[in-house]
Amino acid sequence: MSEQVQPNQNQHQNQNNSSEEIDLGQLFKLIGDGFRKFFNFIGKIFKGIFGLIIAFMLFIQRHIIKFVIAGIVGVAFGTFLDIIKKPVYVSTMTLEPNFQSVQQLYNNIKFYNELAEAEDSVALAEALDITQTEAASIKEIEAESYSDENQKIKLFDEFVRSLDTTTQKAIDMEKYLENFNSFDARFHTVVVKATDNKVAKKIQNPIIESISNNDYFKTQKKTRKDNLNFQDRILEKQLVEIDSLQMLYKRVMEKEAEKPMQGTNINLADGNGQQNKELALIKQIDEIKESIVEIQQERANKSEIVNVISDFPRRGVEQKGIFRSYKFLIPVALLGLVLLALSLLELNKFLKEYSLQQKKN
């Protein structure tokens, strides 16, 4: 009986091995078909792109004369426009707004720029206290922030120092830098583009005065000045009190030194305590002096509502560059129009041929 069971088990095992081989063969065949289809798909994409490139080159070849004529005409006309147009001069001024006046600066510059774009020389002349001719020469006025990574890190450090210890732990520098906007920067540049190379210098004071004459910022400046003076007086008073305390310690030590020695007992604890007190006073004096220096620096930085870091130059610099010239812009625009027109004609021709083929079929 056992001899009959053993052959049946071997036969069943052979059937399982053959079925596993068939399953693996089908799996490898499916994988191979998948790779083949994928590479065929990629090949079709490259063939399609190559076909489009060849078709575009053949299109250019058929109409090369038209493109050459359009390019020559565009360069000639653009050169003529460059010769007769008035040169544009660029002037730049760097400012440091204080007392949160940066928003007002950007609002004013935006207002001036809108008047310049609308060519409203009357209103612009009145706003900037210049003549209408000078106002008409202004083509663009813009403001932008000026800051690098080092300045951003310094601003972050100053911001963190102004917070309490608990809030400092919740502030992340990376998130602060991600949310950094133009209003957070310390320095800002005002750029004026005009056909008159001297007009920027004339509008420098009106731009600054439009912010400095604001009553809110005047109040902020006065309050800040009074607070700094108050802090300065307190620190000076503390220095006087510490100086008096030092003199008192000195007199006490002199009195102690005048006393006759009694036996051989020496009180080292009192001497060390006196020395520690004097060292603490010296440390406190250094801290007060540092605070006074910081106040003087703050007073200098906040002496004006808007600090002028660099003035507008007496004469602006002429704006140059091939990409801004008409001899570049006109040919590009003309070639683009020719390309569009010829493409539409080719498309119309293709649609007509396709329609005729559909009717024949």
The 3-state secondary structure of 130-169, one letter per residue: CCHHHHHHEEEEEEEEECCHHHHHHHHHHHHHCCCHHHHH
What's the pLDDT score for residue 157?
67
Indicate the SS3 state at residue 19.
helix
What's the pLDDT score for residue 271?
52
CA nearest to 206, candidates 124, 318, 98? 124
Long-range contacts formed by 71-80: CB under 8 A, 24+ apart: 71/331, 71/334, 71/335, 73/334, 74/330, 74/331, 74/332, 74/333, 74/334, 74/335, 75/327, 75/330, 75/331, 77/326, 77/330, 78/325, 78/326, 78/327, 78/328, 78/329, 78/330, 78/331, 79/326, 79/327
Contacts of 97 (CB under 8 A, 6+ apart): 104, 105, 188, 211, 305, 306, 307
Taking the model in full, what pTM does it have? 0.65
For 119, 158, 224, 229, the CA distances from 289, given in Å and listed in that order, are 56, 20, 20, 15
What's the pLDDT score for residue 91?
94
- Mind listing the pLDDT tens digit of every residue in the chain (361 residues)? 444 445 555 555 555 555 555 566 677 777 877 888 888 888 889 888 998 889 889 888 888 999 999 989 989 998 888 888 888 999 999 999 998 899 999 999 999 999 999 999 999 999 999 999 999 999 999 998 876 666 666 666 666 666 666 666 666 666 666 666 667 788 899 999 999 999 999 999 999 999 988 899 999 889 988 888 888 888 888 888 887 877 877 777 777 777 665 554 444 445 555 567 777 777 888 888 888 888 888 888 888 899 999 999 999 888 887 777 888 889 999 999 999 999 898 888 888 888 888 777 6
For 171, 187, 303, the CA distances from 167, given in Å and listed in that order, are 7, 27, 30
Cβ proximity of 70 and 191 under 8 Å: no
